[in-house]
Amino acid sequence: MSKGHMIMLGGLMERHDASDVTFKGQDDLSKSIWPSIKRSPGGHRIATYLREQGYDVEVLDFWPAWTRLQLLQFFHQNIREDTLAIGLSSMFTLGQMGKDAHAKYKVIEMIQTMDYLKDLYPQVKFVGGAQNLSALTGYNLDYYVSGYGEYAIVELFKYFKGEFNTLTIQQKKIGGGTINLIDCQNDYPAFPMPNAAVKYEERDYIEPQEVLTLELARGCKFKCKFCSYPVLGVKGDYSRCADSLKEELLDNYTRWGVTNYTVSDETINDSPEKLAKHAKVIRELPFQPHLSGFVRADLLVNKPETWQDIYDMGLRSHYYGIETFHQPAGKIVGKGINTDKLKEGLLKVQDWFKNKEEGRGDFHCEISMIIGLPEETRETFLDGIEWLKTKFSGYSYAISPLYMANDKTPMMNHSSEFDRTWRESGIFHEMTNEEMGVDESELNPNTAQHAIDQLVKSNRLKWAHSTMNIWEAFKIFDEILNDEDLVENTRPGIFYYHRYLTTNKYTIDDIYTKQFSNEISDDVIHPINYNDIDDHTQFIQKYIFKKLSK
Ligand code: B12
Ligand code: SF4
């Protein structure tokens, strides 16, 4: 007998927009609805934790792709007398569903479906959870849980059941109304979380080719000034217990055949001891997992002794937040490694990981750069891009102008040090479009819209400092988006493997060995296109069918 029942809806795990550098021949997918084919990491994690506490929780993935009728059928079949709550797990805002009228209609339908379900089941509480409230405030829910939510949800459930609890509910004014907010970051911090395992169930219908999410640690020991992740500057060991990691990987392999993972850690290689601990248990597994995630390039370059552990863990797809190849700019934000050493080190890392003779060979990375850190000029930034194009090409690149939030629309639960302190920093000031001389005709007509949307419609602060302003940054970005040497020579972003693997179109070996191209050939990967979105939809429909016929 369970202590109570919950249905957890998961969805909106990614978005598609023009902010990444994409392959030149990639379809502009902005005219498709974008529900995401990725399982909900937060939804499954909360479900796992609640089950450990004695509750029965069923996760319903990809919920934006379900029609209202399908959802009603599912609820009709599964709501029970002891159902305490409907959970809603989200990562991005409703605006990320897509840009055209179709997507906007879908969003209205989702909000209305939620309202409809609330009317239909007034005895059940509707609870949303996300890192950032902005992913939830579009819906009319009973409770909003922000931040890592394991401890808070248990208190909330005790409250629902009239049991003794320590629940702290804040009344927060948002837009025109007031919401019931449970602020985990401050009131129920759930980090570290030594056993952050996720246990999937038969009723999740996991398939072997899926890319699941794995947590190896929570929190980051650094404090880069542009970073808005809420758990920064942590001291001590915030890492996952190795035994629970081994059990999770083994379980997912033996039960569902899964070997590929996204790691959600902010910096996987922050401690050599953590790497050694995880590598040790992963070496004992009867299979080789493949992991993708954030790796700090400066630490990697400075600690070659960690490379073997990293390779053995299967961490062969790295996202490097390089941000700049101009050392004075890097120093200001907290990434001040000597950039010549960094470049030389990256080349050594690449050679070491790709070395087949020594039994290795798998390697892919994504390089992230920020245009416009203080001290960066157009020339210094483009110098760095030139190095990538000539010496480190053929990977994936995420390049975007420095984002800073505008005071008028503050971040809903966390903001970066730059966001908080730019006024008194003496580094930044604000400019108007007129002062910056914003003129759309200076941009490439094929790509101009993104910059204009971001400058005119978004909540970005229009920052300026002594060496660049945001308009100059967008002009550089626009040039890069049209730079054939870069955009003709890329591969899938390391956090997007699910788009290519989940429908069995490609394998992880393809990801390591093939480049993007639109040629008809087995030797290439076709960048995601409208047909893939149809295939994703079919995958999800099969899942829905199984959920409804169980
Ligand atoms: C992986 C990741 C991505 C991937 C997502 C796809 C993928 N492959 O998984 C990629 C790389 C695509 C991505 C992109 C971006 N991301 Co991102 N990403 C993450 C990251 C690192 C991990 C997410 C994750 O899996 N976490 C693990 C799970 C277990 O945590 P969780 O989902 O938060 O769940 C917990 C709580 O939220 C809560 N919870 C969740 N659901 C529920 C439900 C209920 C009922 C309850 C009670 C609680 C609850 O409890 C859970 C367990 O503690 C997070 C940061 C982080 N470490 O969480 C940022 C994060 C989600 N990203 C963020 C941002 C801003 C972005 C970008 C917009 C950045 C940018 N400016 O470009 C882009 C989007 C670009 C694009 N085109 O898609 C922000 C989101 C803030 C927001 N809501 O707006 C985050 C939180 C980082 C931050 N700055 O704080 N991201
Ligand atoms: S940018 Fe990365 S390394 Fe820097 S504080 Fe944020 S999570 Fe940590």
Quick one: pLDDT at residue 101?
80
pLDDT in tens, 280-334: 999 999 999 999 999 999 999 999 999 999 999 999 999 999 999 999 999 999 9
Mean pLDDT of 377-403: 96
Please, which pLDDT band fits residue 408 given cuts at 50, 70 and 90? low
If you take atom 7 of ligand 2, which residue's CA is the nearest one? Answer: 266
pLDDT value at residue 126: 98
Tell me if 422 is assigned to some domain.
no
Q: What is the CATH number of the domain that holds 125?
A: 3.40.50.2300
In which region does residue 107 sit, left (phi positive, over 0), alpha (psi from -120 to 50) or beta (all else)?
alpha
What local confidence, expressed as pLDDT, does residue 26 receive?
77
Select from 361, 388, 415 the last residue of a domain: 388
The residue whose C-alpha atom lies closest to atom 33 belonging to ligand 1 is 131
Co-location of 227 and 135 in the same domain: no
205: left (phi over 0), alpha (psi -120 to 50) or beta: left
- Please give the Cα distance from 394 to 397 (Å, whole number): 9
Q: Is 264 in the pocket of ligand 1 (CB under 6 A)?
A: yes
Ligand nearest to the CA of 321: 2
Give the pLDDT confidence of 384-395 residue by residue, as tens digits. 999 999 999 999
162 and 198 fall within a common domain: no
Packing angle of the helix pair 242-256, 272-283 (nearest 10 deg):
40
State what percent of residues in the chain have pLDDT above 70: 97
**Can you give the pLDDT at residue 414?**
77
- Say if residue 186 is in the same domain as residue 212: no
Same domain, 377 and 308: yes
- Identify whether 423 is part of a domain: no
Q: Is 177 found in the same domain as 204?
A: no
Does 124 have pLDDT greater than 60?
A: yes
Q: With bands split at pLDDT 50, 70 and 90, how would you rate the model's confidence at 141?
A: very high
Dmax (CA) of the chain: 67
245 plus 182 within the same structural domain: no
Residue 234 lies in a domain: yes
pLDDT, the chain, mean: 93
pLDDT band for 21, please (50, 70, 90 cuts). low
**Could you tell me if 96 and 243 lie in one domain?**
no
Q: Is the pLDDT of residue 409 over 60?
A: no
Output the CA 414–ligand 2 centroid distance in Å. 14
Is the beta carbon of 245 within 6 A of some atom in ligand 1? no
Token couple for 229: 């992740």
Burial of residue 424, with CB atoms counted within 10 A of its CB: 0-12 exposed, 13-18 middle, 19 or more buried: exposed
**Structure confidence at residue 332 (pLDDT):** 96
Give the residue, by CA position, lying nearest to ligand 2 atom 6. 227
350 shares its domain with 383? yes
Distance 91 CA to ligand 1 centre (A): 5
**Nearest ligand for residue 20 CA:** 1
**Is 140 close to ligand 1, i.e. is its CB under 6 Å away?**
no
pLDDT tens digit sequence for 475-509? 999 999 899 888 888 999 999 999 999 999 999 99
Ligand nearest the Cα of residue 417 is 2
* Position 489 in a domain: no
Q: Of 449, 496, 507, 528, which Cα lies nearest the Cα of 25?
A: 528
Instruction: Give residue 40's domain range.
Output: 5-147+149-190+538-549
The predicted pLDDT at position 537 comes to: 93
* CA-to-CA separations, 427 to 349, 369, 418, 422, in angstroms, rounded: 35, 20, 10, 7
- The domain total for the chain is 2
Q: Is residue 36 part of a domain?
A: yes
Confidence of residue 16 (pLDDT cuts 50, 70, 90): low
Tens digit of each residue's pLDDT (9 = 90 or more) over 215-238: 999 999 999 999 999 999 999 888
Q: Compute the average pLDDT of residues 451-470.
A: 90
Q: Is residue 521 part of a domain?
A: no
Q: Which atom of ligand 1 is closest in space to residue 153's alpha carbon? A: 47
Q: In this structure, what is the dihedral angle of CA atoms 289, 42, 27, 321, given to the nearest 10 degrees?
A: -70
Evaluate: CB of 96 within 6 angstroms of ligand 1. no
At 301, the amino acid letter reads: V
Whether residue 258 sits in one domain with residue 141: no
Nearest to 114 by CA among 37, 11, 44: 11
Of the two residues 175 and 145, the one the predictor is more confident about is 145
Pairing of strands 83-90, 5-11: parallel
- Alpha-helix residue ranges (DSSP H) falling in 121-216: 150-160, 184-187
Which residues form ligand 2's pocket by a CB distance below 6 Å?
220, 222-224, 227, 229, 232, 266-267, 296, 321
| 159 and 205 fall within a common domain | no
Whether 326 and 309 map to the same domain: the answer is yes
Would you say residue 303 lies in a domain? yes
Is the pLDDT at 411 greater than 70? The verdict is no
49/132 same-domain check: yes
Q: Which pLDDT belongs to residue 20?
A: 64
Pairing outcome for strands 170-174 and 177-183: antiparallel
- Residue-wise pLDDT tens digits, 94-118: 877 777 788 888 899 999 999 999 9
Query: Is the residue at 319 inside a domain?
Result: yes
For the domain that residue 271 is a member of, what is the CATH number? 3.80.30.20
Show which of 388, 407, 430 is a domain's final residue.
Answer: 388
Among 341, 363, 388, give the residue marking a domain's end.
Answer: 388
Res 545: pLDDT: 98
Give the Å distance between the CA of 222 and the centre of ligand 2: 6
What mean pLDDT is predicted for residues 368-372? Answer: 97
Question: Taking CA 399 as the corner, what is the angle to CA 98 and CA 315, rounded to the nearest 5 degrees?
Answer: 95
Could you list the beta-strand ranges (E) of 272-350. Answer: 290-294, 315-323
Tell me the pLDDT tens digit for each residue of 40-86.
Answer: 999 999 999 999 999 999 999 999 999 999 999 999 999 999 999 99
Strand segments, DSSP code E, in 42-107 are 56-60, 83-90
| Predicted confidence (pLDDT) per residue in 246-291, tens digit | 999 999 999 999 999 999 999 999 999 999 999 999 999 999 999 9
